[in-house]
Chain A
Amino acid sequence: MSTGEFIGDDELRDGSLPRGSDAISDELTISQYAEAVTRAGEKLVSVVVPTNNDRSLVKKCFQCVDDAFRDTEYRYELIVVDDHSIDGTPEYVRSVQGELPVRLVEKKGKKGRSISIKEGVDVALGNAIVILDPDVRFTKEALVSMVSKLEDSYIVVASRSTYPSFVYGIFSRMYGWIIGRVLLSVNANVRSGIKVFRRSLLDSLRFDPEFDPRLGFDAVLLYHARRVGWPISSVLVQYTRVLFHHGYSGEVLSRFSFAYGIVLIKVVHILRATFPFLFPPPPIEYFSAGFTNVNDYLFLSPAQSAKGHITRETVSLFVIVVGLSLVSMFGVSRAFGIPLLMGIAFGISAMYLLLVAFKLVIMFRSLPAERDVLTAEDLATVTNEELPIVSVLIPLYKEQEIIPQIFRYLSDFDYPREKLDIIFILESTDTETAEAFLAMNPPSHFKALLSPDVQPKTKPKAMNVAFGAAKGEILVIFDAEVLPERDQLKKAYLTFKRHPEAKYLHSRMDVYNADYNWITRLYAGEFCYFYHFFLPGLVSSNYPIPISGHSTYFRREVIEKVGAWDAYNVAEDCDIGIRIYRKGFGSGRMLDTHTWEQSTTTVATWVRQRTRWIQGFIQTSIVQLRYPLLLKRELKTWRNFLIFLVLVPGNVVLNILNIVQWGMFVLWNVTHAPFLQVAYSGVTLYLATICFFFGNFFFTFYSMYSLYVRKHYRIVPWGLLMFAYWIMLGIATIRATIHLFLHPHKWDKTSHPAIHVSKPS
């Protein structure tokens, strides 16, 4: 005997099982029945019958089914899903449960035939599932011939050979042709009252993002089958329907709702094809499976990672946004009779002004930002016993020169050794750093972990490798070149203790080689501004924020629930900050401590570093905006969504706009080009002027002021050169955009020569 997928062992092992119309007794429950059938290798067929006030039909229907399987090799179960009937259908079904293998499913979902079928199919146990309308009457051979056909097909649809009347036949054929061939492109009678399919198809359906049973279960099934290439067979059988048993209006309504479902399927399909970013995939959390992926140490789904890079969702969204912007600008220019060039210039200037205004608002908000000041007395109250284990992750690559400095500050931490879980993550190919590590005779609580030689070779992958080995309740990452304050770990613990709602903590950054050369001075100005005015303002406002790549303290559960870092994102800190917020962990809290960081010292290293950061921002924008509506839903409010747009993609755009606006300004001064006179006239001129003078002034001033606040007095005047720094940022942004296409996942490591490592200035 040939075996199909739905058919189990051929051999009958237990002859005592009921056959054909044998009833399921009270002692033998349906699951036991199914189990017994499976054990015996019987061929169990589940017949799903959706009913709605079909009391008069089901008796005959049951009889047809029972007759069909009587004296055959198949066993069947009848699953009646009753859609809130009031004519006694459920009572009747219950009354025959002692006579037939029938189950009554109490419907949970909304009304409708499709939902009924879906609920029936969900509880079906047979390898073959029959969808049967209760008004269908068929010959004894019909069902068995259809089920048998499943052995070489996936779906079998009954095709009618006779109709009760000529007119009805014409109408019914036309209807079926329009619905089936024209709309769904399926060569079968989609309106057929009997359909049989393999149960194994359900697993495939479940993973189809386009599957929506509300649109008509059997129609969607057929449509899906056509799309994925499952063979669909038609079997010509003699069957008929009990016509108009719900009245004429009921018949019309039934056909109309079926057609409506089909049209919806088609519309949804077109929408999905055109706007794929509107339809997010189901939330599949791969990382929940124990963080065991050792192929590339990515614990996120493809939709959440930069691994997929630029997908059709991104392209579609980009094209539509740019298209709509251009169309709207063109429309506005036509409607108000202003030149298109002026409209574009106005749009850019207005957006620029909004971004500037937003940043100013955030900075002003940072002034009264709550700051938990932790004194030495506060820290003295903490006992060693109560301190939790803290895992310190330190990814290293080609940084052998700086290892003595790391050992120095790690050994100097004001934290009990037995509570420290320090993990150095070394690349398996980086023997120099490994040798330098071993040469330092590391103490017992310093562990080294070799990151496997698999792609991608990035810092987040290294951290994902280490995450599995980390055992601390609190996690923190330190870059090789940073110098955290020695009481930072205790402060982090105390802040977590005082604020149980805080899921992660931000340290403030400063630069220890700030006064080395002009680029380190401007770098310090930027950092002091960001970590003393901008970040506290964002945190106090509880906005979604890109966090720092090091010196951020996490509760372990946070990293677990967000699926760790995206191994393919070159600015994993930015990405994880947004994902943490999407998971509902908020924007964290500021920690009363500083970490001293080393600035890059040459233009070349600075440009490389910024290129990577900005590239990561672009990657994060792409990943997070793959499904913008889902992002909005998870960020909770439109306000947060807009903030995200401003902070992540907006940041990149602002860098570009800086270049554009400065370029226009220079061009106008040099050439007095007429097209610029047109573009920047009227209100646009006011906007651009305000942006140019006040925007540049305030950001320059705030950079200088933040340097003053951090007591970098010697550097304050250098803040006047911040505009040059912004131009460099623009250049780095352009480079990052190019790199995005050429080297999307390449980790351009910033070199930190030990020569500049000294005491904080």
Chain B
Amino acid sequence: MKISQLFHWLRKLYDSNVVLAIATIFSATAVLAYAYPRWLHISDFDGIANLNVARFLTHSFTPGFSQIGVWNLLNHMLLAPAVAVDFWYTTGVAGFIVHVPSLFLTAYCINRLCMEVTDDVYASLVAALIFVFNPYVLIFTVSPMSEPVFFLLLAASAMYFAQWVRRDSMEKLLLSAACIALSSVARFEAFALVPMGVFAVILTGLHRKYSWSRLSSEVLLFGLIACLGSVFVVFYSWFYTGNPLYFISYSAVRDTADVTVHTMQMISDGWWNAERVHSFLPTLYEALRLQFSLLILVVAATGMTWLAVRRQRWTFLMTIIVLLAPTLFVAASYVTGKRYIGVPPFYPQYVNIRYVLHVGVALSLFCSCSIAALRSSGYHFVRRAGFGLGIVSLVASIFFSAHEFYLGSFQALRNNVAYAGNLSGATSLSEVYDFGNVLISHGDNETFIFESHIPLERIVYESNYLYYMQTIREPWLFVRWVVLNMNDGIARDQISRVFFYHVNKDIFSQYYELVLEDGGRKIYRVRESVVRDVAKKLGYDPKLIPTLNTDAKWDPAKFYEQLKASKR
């Protein structure tokens, strides 16, 4: 076969979607192959929490939607079918299974979005590939984190928005709104999309000289759909916890006392922090440079400048308002010091740079504009330069950021203190655990639960609300094991009640013996003979006591009644 024939054949086969699909599968698989032996794909605490919560939907003491608690539900629901498979759950590969299609669709949306703005097939494809080959994006793609789903919905909402701006098709605007609504139940950053989207709709309406009635009706229809997600979150929090803003507090415990404590803390931080305001842009720059390389940032900045003179600049500007809305949310969160999403300093704690990773969608669009600008030049040389810039940007995005990524501190995550402690304690528990229910609190016990390999159906947890509340009062009747996290941090709040009730009291020591103290955790096992003796003394049927009969299912509302009825 001649080379020209081969090119001809490839040209016939060429389709940007096929290229993106191959690129997605190839890159994601390569990163998984790298990350899996090093356990990097589940190196993040939140990722493991996502795996657990998703699996609790089907494997729990009380399976069902209530297991999601106040967490954003979309990612958990998407993960649920995958984590129901033991192998995918225990290895953490469930994230890869679910998120690779998300990455492909994100790339597809970026490609179409760039096409709307630049009308350049090549530049659009390169922009999508820049996103697909970004190692930071990829590491989240192979993980169970919620970011890939958010990237997809962000890109999709921007794509539909651009289509609306360009074609004035109301269906596209409503689709964009629907994506915004969905993204709001994927991540809280998406809340900012609603006002910013409305703002862009108003600007576009004014630009088109719509009548006031038409403009208001479009804003109303768009807003009604777009805010569905955030309204749902508020109502859901209200319904689930009694506090509509509970989702802000980062606690899954249905206890208003805890919420009050968190809210008080947040308010005491004040409305803004001057130091953070000054440090935000340098911090953002550092994070973006780290993720996308300096070259990409330069190319993107060029693209933004070029757009000022382009014909589709209105489409571009309005789309950018949508795309950068989550960044505004992050910025507000950062400078005020509030824990809307719990934003910590970005750099050099690489694990948290994900909060601005969504900027990658906008950067890809900017790069596409730069490349398209050069390619549309009338000069042959400049067109070639545009081609070259595309290639260079792509390669740079892969190698420069990969260099930082792989040699950076990401590798150290696995070995950080908290994680090592989790692993050590979990390993110890898995060695001594025989059978029976385990009382454990939420907080940073997620990794511990995941690593200890205890069946989730055996764990009594905050999300098993009635059972949990009953168990922490008299654990010796219900659980053979009690795990207490003694580390400082968020978890203290979660376990304080167990402390409060029992740990320093004689009765707890009477029923439980300390088996292990490892990784900042204390693991207690019930003294079965004591429970049995007490039950015998009081005349209770031991078959009804879950500590003694691990197959016993109890009804919190009737347990004591049944126990008394069994008295001989």
Contact = CB atoms under 8 A, between A and B. Distances in A.
B528 interface: no
Interface string A660-681: 0000000000000000000000
Contacts of A707: 217
A704 B221 contact: yes
Contacts of A518: none
B5 interface: no
B225 A701 contact: yes
A708 interface: yes
Contacts, number: 34
B220 interface: yes
B504 interface: no
B214 A713 contact: yes
B213 A714 contact: yes
A553 B224 CA distance: 38
Interface string B202-219: 000000000101101110
Nearest to A367: B171
A684 to B, nearest CB: 14
Contacts of A708: 170, 217-218, 221
A90 B220 CA distance: 87
A713 B217 contact: yes
A629 to B, nearest CB: 41
A704 B220 contact: yes
Nearest to B65: A686
Given A713-B213, A717-B217, A701 B170 contact: no
Nearest to A700: B224
Interface in B163-195: 170, 174
Interface residues of A, number: 12
A701 B218 contact: no
Contact of A716 (B174, B220, B225): B220
A705 B228 CA distance: 16
Contacts of B228: 697
B373 to A, nearest CB: 37
Contact of A701 (B214, B217, B224): B224
A701 B213 contact: no
A314 B19 CA distance: 65
B206 to A, nearest CB: 15
Nearest to B170: A708
Nearest to B228: A697
B36 to A, nearest CB: 38
B170 A713 contact: no
Contacts of A701: 221, 224-225
Contacts of B225: 701
Contacts of B220: 704, 716-717
A713 B216 CA distance: 8
A490 to B, nearest CB: 30
Nearest to B215: A713
Contacts of A716: 213, 216-217, 220-221
Nearest to A704: B221
A693 to B, nearest CB: 8
A126 B301 CA distance: 108
B549 to A, nearest CB: 23
A716 B214 CA distance: 9
Nearest to B211: A713
Contacts of B211: 713
Interface string A685-715: 0000000010001000100110111000110
Contacts of A693: 235
Contacts of B218: 708
A127 to B, nearest CB: 77
Nearest to B217: A716
Q: Which one of A707, A708, A709 has the highest number of Cβ atoms from chain B below 10 Å of its Cβ?
A: A708
Contacts of B174: 705
Contacts of A697: 224, 228
A713 B217 CA distance: 6
Nearest to A689: B239
Interface string B101-115: 000000000000000
A717 B216 contact: yes
Contacts of B224: 697, 701, 704
Nearest to A707: B217
Interface of A: 693, 697, 701, 704-705, 707-709, 713-714, 716-717
In the complex, the 8 A-B pairs of residues with the closest C-beta atoms, listed nearest first: A716-B217, A713-B213, A713-B214, A714-B213, A713-B217, A708-B217, A717-B220, A701-B224
16 contacts: A697-B224, A697-B228, A701-B221, A701-B225, A704-B220, A704-B224, A707-B217, A708-B218, A708-B221, A709-B170, A713-B211, A713-B213, A714-B217, A716-B213, A716-B216, A717-B220
